[in-house]
Structure 1
Amino acid sequence: MLPLIALLILALPPTQGLNDNLTGPGLAWPNQLWVPTGGFTAPGTTLSSYYTWGPDPIIPPANSSGIWDIPFPFIPMLWGCTQSYIEPFQRALWSNFSNATLTPRREILGFNEPDHPQQAACTPQEAARVWREVLEPLRYQGYRVGSPAVTSGEAGRKWMRDWYEACMGGCKPDFLALHWYDLVPQNFIEHIQYYHNTYNLPIWVTEYASQNFSVFNPSTGQYDNQATYVEVQRFMDITTAYMQSVDWVERWFWFGAMYEMQGVNELDCLFDPSGKPNRTGALNELGVQYAGSNGSVSVGQQLSSGGRRRIADWSRFRWIDSLGSLLS
């Protein structure tokens, strides 16, 4: 008898091209105009949407090459609970998010790892207050709003329980946003099952990758016992197969569309390393596996002379030094 996960993979329909933008894999994109997106938008792509860890979409200069365009709907995020994040989010909201095409159900993401001291770092009480004041009203304006995205350890589960309690019935997310970093596909499956069964809401996995945060080596300053490339591919295969097999997982976003992986296993990167010097955005085998596109981008393509590259602000995105303690 075939194991369950093999049956899941065999039962999946053949990969199609651009989908209806309601479900499926998406692009977590921290690069702005630092890297072209053409590898992910090439023929055959199955990506359904993208987000940037903020309220602003990618807007290429008018005279730039098409490899900088993103044909997927944009998902804005209110990253943190302080005014330094609330005010830019509200400005973007008032400008209709620069008239970007949003997802068909006009979805918005909530706070990024509020239980993590190096990320949004909101107390459940702070997050409940900001949610009630800023995000909950958007649900009555036709937006569909996702929960705060907590880390994947027990600290995240406790924070979510405390947040719901602090909300006193005033926070009603339309779906749960989750993060996951570990090596075992079955643990990933049980993690998202826990949240779905506990809160009875659809699931979005807005960050995930095959990454071990359990064995820190102080002599190297890195985490040991990481997955091999074959193991990373298998992790992606199995988790994707499961998410496609259930109707309560709506979207998922692999953490790896960047050349500097910010402490996460370099083998999770979706870009071909040969393109790193020129930031071509060409995909490697894992990137093609994830996006379904052929990943080809001309190495010589750059912004035209009238455009100007923007540099990514990495300080907002990775948080490796203390993440391991939150996963224990």
Structure 2
Amino acid sequence: MLVALLLLPTVLATSSPKRGLIHIPSPAHPADDAIWLSPPTDLTWYYNYAAAPSPALPALHFVPQLWGAPSSDSDTAFLDAVRALLAAGTNVSHVLAFNEPDGAAGSGGSDVDPARAARAWNREIAPLRELGVRLGAPAVTGAPAGMAWLRAFFEACGCEADFVPVHWYGSFEGLASRVGEVRAAWPRAEIWVTDYITRYSYFGSFRSDVSNVGPNAAMLTQDGELTDIGSWYLGRGATGNVPKGGKKKSGAVARGAAGWAAWVVAGVVVVALVVV
């Protein structure tokens, strides 16, 4: 923790190539897309749960994702799409695999059993390594069942991923514990916290009135203005904009929230020191 305190001013003052965004364009509010590219911003990369990049974010590095496993064992649509991007000159350095395959479809998971996921990974993901692309393991939920699913996947797959994504929505202590567990299980793999290392991305690039995780996690208010969290994540100062359903903070609480955001960034540094 002392290391975090010493590095905190540097972390807050400089842009990090690790900082990315989970982003899905909003057809109802297309002007919101420009917010993420307007300077100053610390964002360098993004993913959108799909194989094709978003035209709205041309300045950010795109990471394709195979969100769920195709129903057919002969389907190579994702592999073909990434090969086409590379052939067109797009810089594809990494790919992400299945999104929360241990989770039910009703809660946002892709609901894929480990054996089927292993077949799809070997067919659609593994061949990309020959093209110089680094390969991500499936991004399981933070539930205990997630780790069991991931172990079953690797047993069925007989493969090795270059990095393991981690999803976490709990406390920093819980995050540190999960990262340690992943590090112990797959010591040669990098760790991405995608939903916070080598890379991390925050889940909240939407307006508060369409948030499925509560208004206070949103990076935009119901009117499309940056909230404190959204502004801090871009490397800027607090805005004081309160999302719909959120509560206006007193001076003391606001200062506490700013401190919390700083510790989130510092927490990433601490975890990075552990896993690098």
Q: Compute the TM-score of the two structures, normalised by the length of structure 2.
A: 0.74
Q: Does structure 1 residue 74 correspond to structure 2 residue 62?
A: yes
Q: Does structure 1 residue 256 correspond to structure 2 residue 204?
A: yes
Q: Would the aligned equivalents of 1:57 and 1:98 in 2 still touch at CA under 8 Å?
A: no
Write the distance in 2 (CA, Å) between the matches of 1:110 and 1:74: 14
- Which residue type is aligned with residue 269 of structure 1? A
Equivalent residue for 1:187, pick from 174, 177, 202: 174
The match for 1:29 is: 23
Equivalent residue for 2:81, pick from 52, 69, 92: 92
The match for 2:221 is: 272
Q: Secondary structure of the equivalent of 1:132?
A: helix
The match for 2:110 is: 120
Write the distance in 1 (CA, Å) between the matches of 2:154 and 2:67: 18
Q: Would the aligned equivalents of 2:64 and 2:96 in 1 still touch at CA under 8 Å?
A: yes
Q: Secondary structure of the equivalent of 2:111?
A: coil
Compared CA separation, residues 16 and 84, structure 1 to 2 (3 A) = farther
Q: Would the aligned equivalents of 2:68 and 2:110 in 1 still touch at CA under 8 Å?
A: yes
The match for 1:320 is: none
CA shift, 1:98, in A, is: 9.1
Q: Secondary structure of the equivalent of 2:219?
A: coil
Write the distance in 1 (CA, Å) between the matches of 2:5 and 2:186: 27
Compared CA separation, residues 69 and 147, structure 1 to 2 (3 A) = closer
Compared CA separation, residues 190 and 152, structure 1 to 2 (3 A) = same
Unaligned segments of structure 1, at least 5 residues: 60-67, 209-248, 276-281, 297-328
CA shift, 1:252, in A, is: 0.7
Write the distance in 2 (CA, Å) between the matches of 1:262 and 1:272: 10
Q: Does structure 1 residue 138 correspond to structure 2 residue 128?
A: yes
Q: Would the aligned equivalents of 1:113 and 1:151 in 2 still touch at CA under 8 Å?
A: yes
Q: Does structure 1 residue 166 correspond to structure 2 residue 156?
A: yes
Compared CA separation, residues 93 and 206, structure 1 to 2 (3 A) = same
Compared CA separation, residues 93 and 32, structure 1 to 2 (3 A) = farther
Write the distance in 2 (CA, Å) between the matches of 1:18 and 1:37: 20
**Deviation sequence 1:7-31 (CA, Å, 0-9, x none):** 5144231545655xxx411010022
Q: Would the aligned equivalents of 1:92 and 1:98 in 2 still touch at CA under 8 Å?
A: no
CA shift, 1:121, in A, is: 1.3
Greater RCO, 1 or 2 (C-alpha within 8 Å, sep 6+)? 1
Write the distance in 2 (CA, Å) between the matches of 1:145 and 1:53: 15
- Which residue type is aligned with residue 92 of structure 1? A
Q: Which structure dedicates a bigger proportion of its chain to helix?
A: 2
- Which residue type is aligned with residue 44 of structure 1? P
When the two structures are aligned, how many residues end up with a matched partner? 230
Give % identity: 30
Q: Would the aligned equivalents of 2:69 and 2:120 in 1 still touch at CA under 8 Å?
A: yes
1:235-254 to 2 correspondence within 5 Å?
249-254=197-202
Q: Would the aligned equivalents of 2:232 and 2:238 in 1 still touch at CA under 8 Å?
A: no
The match for 1:54 is: 50
The match for 1:289 is: 232
CA shift, 1:198, in A, is: 1.7
Deviates more, 1:39-48 or 1:139-148: 39-48
Unaligned segments of structure 2, at least 5 residues: 240-276
Q: Secondary structure of the equivalent of 2:195?
A: strand
Equivalent residue for 1:40, pick from 36, 39, 43: 36
User: What is the RMSD computed on CA atoms of the aligned residues?
Assistant: 2.7
Q: Secondary structure of the equivalent of 2:62?
A: coil
Q: Compute the TM-score of the two structures, normalised by the length of structure 1.
A: 0.63
- Which residue type is aligned with residue 76 of structure 1? P
Write the distance in 2 (CA, Å) between the matches of 1:14 and 1:207: 20
Q: Does structure 1 residue 176 correspond to structure 2 residue 125?
A: no
Q: Would the aligned equivalents of 1:135 and 1:145 in 2 still touch at CA under 8 Å?
A: yes
Write the distance in 2 (CA, Å) between the matches of 1:94 and 1:83: 21
Compared CA separation, residues 7 and 94, structure 1 to 2 (3 A) = closer
- Which residue type is aligned with residue 50 of structure 1? Y
Q: Secondary structure of the equivalent of 1:273?
A: coil
Write the distance in 2 (CA, Å) between the matches of 1:92 and 1:251: 24
